[in-house]
Amino acid sequence: MKAMLLRQPRPVDVAPLRLVDLPTPTPGPRHIRLRIRVCGVCRTDLHQIEGDLSLPKLPVVPGHQIVGVVDRVGDGVTQFRLGDRVGVPWLYSTCGQCPFCRRGKENLCASGQFTGFHVDGGYAQYIVVSEEYAYHLPPQLPDAQVAPLLCAGVIGYRALRLSGIRPGERLGLYGFGGSAHIVIQIARYWECEVYVFTRSEQHRELARELGAAWVGRADETPPKKMHSGIVFAPAGWIVREALQGLEKGGTLSLAGIYMTPIPELDYDLLYHERTIRSATNSTREDVRELLRLADEIPIRTRVEHFSLEAANQALQKLKRSEIIGAAVLEIP
């Protein structure tokens, strides 16, 4: 099968992914094989490829926002049939036995494995996955639109819930890429007033189009304090700015898998029962909830299409904040 392979972390500017031929995987018991149609390009992929994250496997095929069709099943598969359209997200497997798994917090499982990180991912023509960690997809959402929901959407949704936002309250979104442009649609569906902080004028235009009440830069003062906030940008200095805009008793949720160092904070920024929480990975129930919600609203993602061979270019544009919405690879 064709795949884009990372042999060693390097800056995306030097195009570190290489198109290679790899053996096509065969599904074992209770596993299914997907013929991949599309794979979303995530900022986590960027951090992985450039070495911001310690990689447990090299070489590796990145990609964890996968939409494909079942073309082969292993023994004992009961949840899927040949021809089913299926999604595969970041969470690839968990132990199911540790204290975190038993408490419904499988996103924190010490033995958890992640797609495109511990196992080869979706920048390829095929993938094998356990039927327990794959998902039927809403039929009316096209492949390219549903792919970004499988990580950008689900981690944004988890961060949104962890922020404690309630319908009708004010929400601040810091950074407005693939994840935030999905979250704003959920927040507006809940009739929240959304304030967007981003340096890109194109991202500001999209935010206004999607119903933002106010847009500006992270270092600008909004007209009102936020009840909750989510930081998507991987820049630690934004945490201080976001806390300054947070109402008493508010919660700031950090949605990234990586962030530059957070500067020293004055206690006054945390006083009055303000809270900082990080959103870590996601659970299978998070994915199911988001897919139901995406079908109900419905969520419409904005996507820019790239070929599999153009994965390096997609990542370069993502790094330069030139992707409006999300990037998706079309797999031949």
Distances (CA, A) of 4 to 49, 62, 198, 240: 12, 8, 31, 38
The pLDDT of residue 178 is: 95
The pLDDT of residue 301 is: 96
Collapsing DSSP to helix, strand or coil, 48 comes out as helix
CA dihedral sign, ordered 51, 54, 59, 62? negative
Tell me the pLDDT tens digit for each residue of 70-79: 999 999 999 9
Q: Are 246 and 226 in contact (CB under 8 A)?
A: yes
The pLDDT of residue 234 is: 95
Pairing of strands 85-88, 66-73: antiparallel
Tell me the pLDDT tens digit for each residue of 263-321: 999 999 999 999 999 999 999 999 999 999 999 999 999 999 999 999 999 999 999 99
The domain 153-278 belongs to what CATH superfamily?
NAD(P)-binding Rossmann-like Domain (3.40.50.720)
Q: What is the DSSP letter of 107?
A: G
Mean pLDDT (whole number) for 29-58: 97
Q: Are 139 and 263 in contact (CB under 8 A)?
A: no
Tell me the pLDDT tens digit for each residue of 194-249: 999 999 999 999 999 999 999 999 999 999 999 999 999 999 999 999 999 999 99
The pLDDT of residue 105 is: 97
Mean pLDDT (whole number) for 68-89: 98
Return phi, psi of residue 239, to 5°: -60, -45
The pLDDT of residue 310 is: 98
DSSP state letters, 263-314: PP--GGGTTTT-EEEE--S--HHHHHHHHHHHHHTT----EEEEEGGGHHHH
Tell me the pLDDT tens digit for each residue of 2-20: 999 999 999 999 999 999 9
Collapsing DSSP to helix, strand or coil, 228 comes out as strand
CATH topology classification for 2-150+282-330: Quinone Oxidoreductase; Chain A, domain 1 (3.90.180)
User: What is the distance between the alpha carbons of residues 322 and 141, in angstroms, rounded to a whole number?
Assistant: 24
The pLDDT of residue 177 is: 95
Query: Could you tell me the residue ranges of all domains in the chain?
Result: 2-150+282-330, 153-278
The pLDDT of residue 119 is: 98
Q: How far does the chain reach from its first CA to its final CA, in angstroms?
A: 10
The pLDDT of residue 37 is: 98
Distances (CA, A) of 21 to 18, 24, 119, 124, 297: 10, 9, 17, 9, 40
Tell me how many degrees the CA angle 135-81-22 measures, rounded to the nearest 5: 75
Tell me the pLDDT tens digit for each residue of 155-190: 999 999 999 999 999 999 999 999 999 999 999 999
Q: What is the DSSP letter of 175?
A: S
Q: Are 258 and 52 in contact (CB under 8 A)?
A: yes
The pLDDT of residue 182 is: 98
Q: Are 294 and 153 in contact (CB under 8 A)?
A: yes
